[in-house]
Structure 1
Amino acid sequence: MRFDACVRLTGGAILAALLAPFLAVTPAAADPDCRRLTHDGSRYSVCTVRTDQDDLRLWHSDSDGRLYGGFGAIDSALREQGQQLAFAMNAGMYHDDRSPVGLYLENGVQSGPLVTRDGPGNFGLLPNGVFCIRDGSAAVIESRAFAANPPSCRYASQSGPMLVIDGALHPRFLVDSDSRFIRNGVGVAPDGKTVHFAISENRVNFHSFGRLFRDVLKTPNALYFDGKVSRLHAPAIGRSDAGFPLGPIVGVAVPAS
């Protein structure tokens, strides 16, 4: 900068100009990218989160052990801290008392063991998997691979079945299956930072839902969260589903507006 141009700046502007090269630029937190799309005749809502920019967490109970159970309770708790819930969905299966089925990790505190054995229901339709949130990254990891080499996760929720495993659909999915429900799940892009959450808006089978993650969202690994009870909180597209209490919930906290 020439001196004759510099002297026309105010004192504050001069200081800002001198300090600018030394200031790190941190991406501002923003609401997740939520949109609606159609694939093979089925409709979906998809929310995309960046773990290097967004405050992605799991919630189940407060510090006194009281179940959150829904999006409103989490949003109320966040607002007491000057934040709000920008996106959320149910994030894994649970027992009648709303305790998680399988591994659950919240802010480093584990409740429930990792389950690697075959079993009844969708959870036991091996291979199942774990959604792991680290500082700045995330992953969907097949449960037995997780057990063999446990990663460091700040948050984790086990569910099943896997929808996509290393680029392939779960081997037991049938293209013409008549088991159709509203379903939701999660997939992580190859960069380990871009996370896609999806919920169907009409009833779909596992094969259709898996192909959404494999062929449209391009996630090499994806995990089924649940069906029938699937719910989404996405104010950006005017949606916040209500219903009976949930177990684990995944979401993004942002500064309150």
Structure 2
Amino acid sequence: MKRTAEVALALALAIWSVPASSQTCHDQSFEGARYSVCEVRAGDDLRLFLDDAEGQRLGTFDRVERELSAEGRTLRFAMNAGMYHPDRSPVGYYVEAGEEKARLVRSAGPGNFGLLPNGVFCILPDAFAVQETLAFDAARPACRYATQSGPMLVISGSLHPRFLPGSDSRFVRNGVGVTADGKTAYFAISEGPVTFHEFARLFRDGLKASDALYFDGNISRLYAPELGRDDFGFPMGPIVGLATTPDGAGN
């Protein structure tokens, strides 16, 4: 009970300290489903996190928070950012601070990751990109951070061709979408089970993202103090998070 009370107090203080006009995350309804959405602008200190300085998996939001606190920064929001193996290493391409840590996977495979086309989320110094894997391979942008996942949800304004409007496959899902100009990235997680088709429409029609990428399903979790959320669960692989100064500045 003490731990629960401490977490509730910390979240309440965090929410109180953030002006409403500068909020990163918000709750949104779309076509009868509820989502939590976090919006990040190009140039903000958005990063991917996998290991600590000793090479040990971070895996949890509180460990990422501790890493950032050593820099005098705080974690504004975070979520799981791509599929991973049992040892929590990335299934596909992974770049952190400009260093490639896992190679690009071009072939089809089992599970959602192999439901081609899949893609890569890339954080550039002044823009974001979500690209289909083979297009990314041809272009090879200079990503500061990158994670490969799948399937693609939205590809140049079109839904993944294998998504079915009447599908009965429903899970809690999370992913990322990027606007056509690359200046805004939206990170969304569903509050309840949704189909791929429904989730993809959120990005294309609700958030106006020209391209979007699926991160994961059942393990999907969000850290968003503004919304009073700090989801617990088993340790994760790659995590995406927005670092800010204590006053809330993104750079």
* Same fold flag (TM > 0.5): yes
1:203 aligns with 2:193: yes
Q: Report deviation, 1:136.
A: 1.7
Contact 1:82 1:255 in 2 (8 A): yes
Q: Which residue of 2 aligns with 1:153?
A: 143
Read off the aligned partner of 1:40 and give its amino acid letter. Answer: E
The DSSP-based 3-state class of the residue aligned with 1:147 is helix
1:103 aligns with 2:93: yes
Q: Which residue of 2 aligns with 1:46?
A: 37
1:219 aligns with 2:209: yes
Q: Report deviation, 1:80.
A: 1.6
Q: Which residue of 1 aligns with 2:104?
A: 114
Q: Which residue of 1 aligns with 2:239?
A: 249
**Using the alignment, how far apart are the partners of 2:45 and 2:138 within structure 1?**
28
Go from structure 1 to structure 2 and tell me whether the alpha carbon gap of 1:32 and 1:226 turns closer, same or farther (over 3 Å shift).
Answer: farther
Contact 1:130 1:140 in 2 (8 A): yes
Moved more, 170-179 or 30-39: 30-39
The DSSP-based 3-state class of the residue aligned with 1:186 is strand
Q: Which residue of 2 aligns with 1:229?
A: 219
The DSSP-based 3-state class of the residue aligned with 1:123 is helix
**Using the alignment, how far apart are the partners of 1:118 and 1:95 within structure 2?**
16
Q: Report deviation, 1:168.
A: 0.3
Q: Report deviation, 1:256.
A: 2.6
Q: TM-score, normalised by structure 1?
A: 0.86
Read off the aligned partner of 1:58 and give its amino acid letter. Answer: L
Q: TM-score, normalised by structure 2?
A: 0.88
User: Which whole-Å deviations, capped at 9, do the CAs of 1:96-127 have from their partners, x for residues lacking one?
Assistant: 00000010000011111101111110000000
Give the root-mean-square deviation of aligned CA atoms: 1.1
Q: Which residue of 2 aligns with 1:76?
A: 66
Q: Which residue of 1 aligns with 2:163?
A: 173
Pick aligned residue for 2:49 from 59, 65, 75: 59
Pick aligned residue for 1:191 from 154, 164, 181: 181
Go from structure 1 to structure 2 and tell me whether the alpha carbon gap of 1:32 and 1:118 turns closer, same or farther (over 3 Å shift).
Answer: farther
Read off the aligned partner of 1:221 and give its amino acid letter. Answer: D
Q: Report deviation, 1:191.
A: 2.0
